[in-house]
Structure 1
Amino acid sequence: MEIRTASDEDWPHIHRFYSAVMAEGRTYAFPEGQSLEEARPWWMERPPGRTVVAVGEGGRILGSAKMGPNRPGRGSHIGTASFLVDPSHRGRGVGRALGEHVIGWCRAAGFHAIQFNAVVETNTPAVRLWRSLGFEVVGTVPEAFDHPEHGLVGLHVMYRRL
């Protein structure tokens, strides 16, 4: 698997699974049903941020991550990131590879730490993955996410010092 910077040509491929993940309604509070162009600014980061793709055999895009400063100004020393794995490639290490890439990128970019602002508490695979990569839950906003099966559930704030 290769992880590289996402290009404009990659966006339609990312959008295919971006739309599928948003339609599931289990992991992101992003709007559902966005067109290709409506969704672009929600995922394709501009500097100082970065969007990457995980590419498998045959050039197929398996997943994507976006990363950058969590806040501007006096909060810009903390990084943040978001992740998408094509549902047809879940459970194959794509999320872990993207997570490790983001940690390395944030470290190289000089961030002090990484903060994830909204990890759905019922997203057990993601919570397990981030914990295994050194993140801890530093707080949970109760009932902040309307899950299609579980109703109102919490959003974890997760943190990892670099």
Structure 2
Amino acid sequence: MLTIRLFNEADWNAVWPIVEPVFCAGETYPYSPDITQGEAFDVWIATPQATYIAEDEENGAILGTYYIKPNQPSQGSHVCNCGYIVAEAARGRGVASQMCEHSQQEAVRQGFRAMQYNLVVATNERAVRLWQKMGFQIVGTLHGAFNHSVLGYVDAHIMYKELVT
């Protein structure tokens, strides 16, 4: 069973080993492969409106994390943006799906009307399929917008879902 709850400062020592390899791989997030722990804390914890963790109810292990924030200020602040990372050992177990579902509920609760993913790397086919399964549409493709650490310049999608109609 999985519990999703708000991040607290004591969680960082378990969250950093989850986000660090993903950021450093340079395959799905636009952060520098040389990102420091402090910089990662700023982008994943300090800057977003809220950050959550997915925790295994049996042993308390943190299996994933996501953040939620307004995608734009002021007149665009009714659309939120989220980012998700699942611990490598927990991938393929439905953690991302559960975090995505939770994030949509939280978004509505926080007053957001829609959710937008700004840079879904096209070569991250697993994520693209999952977001489509969760009801997101590709509303645009940015050709060569992501500098993949292995493949070079690859396309990235903008994905969008209305939460309140």
- Give the TM-score of the pair, scaled to structure 1: 0.94
Structure 2: 5+ residue runs without aligned partners?
Answer: none
- Pick closer, same or farther for the CA change 1:45–1:38 going to 2, 3 Å: closer
User: 1:82 maps to what in 2?
Assistant: 83
User: 2:130 maps to what in 1?
Assistant: 129
Name whichever of 149-158 and 117-126 sits farther off: 149-158
User: 1:109 maps to what in 2?
Assistant: 110
1:144 Cα offset (Å): 0.8
- Output the CA distance in 2 between the equivalents of 1:83 and 1:45: 15
1:97 Cα offset (Å): 0.6
User: 2:22 maps to what in 1?
Assistant: 21
Kindly, what percent of the aligned residue pairs are identical? 38
1:148 Cα offset (Å): 2.9
- Output the CA distance in 1 between the equivalents of 2:105 and 2:65: 15
User: 2:50 maps to what in 1?
Assistant: 50
Query: Residues 60-100 of structure 1, C-alpha deviation per residue, up to 9 Å, x if partnerless?
Result: 00000000211111110101100011111111111001000
1:151 Cα offset (Å): 2.1
- Output the CA distance in 1 between the equivalents of 2:35 and 2:17: 11
Structure 1 moving runs of 4+ over 3 Å: none
- Output the CA distance in 1 between the equivalents of 2:107 and 2:20: 27
1:104 Cα offset (Å): 0.5
User: 2:149 maps to what in 1?
Assistant: 148
1:38 Cα offset (Å): 2.4
- Output the CA distance in 2 between the equivalents of 1:4 and 1:157: 27
Instruction: State the superposition RMSD in angstroms.
Output: 1.3
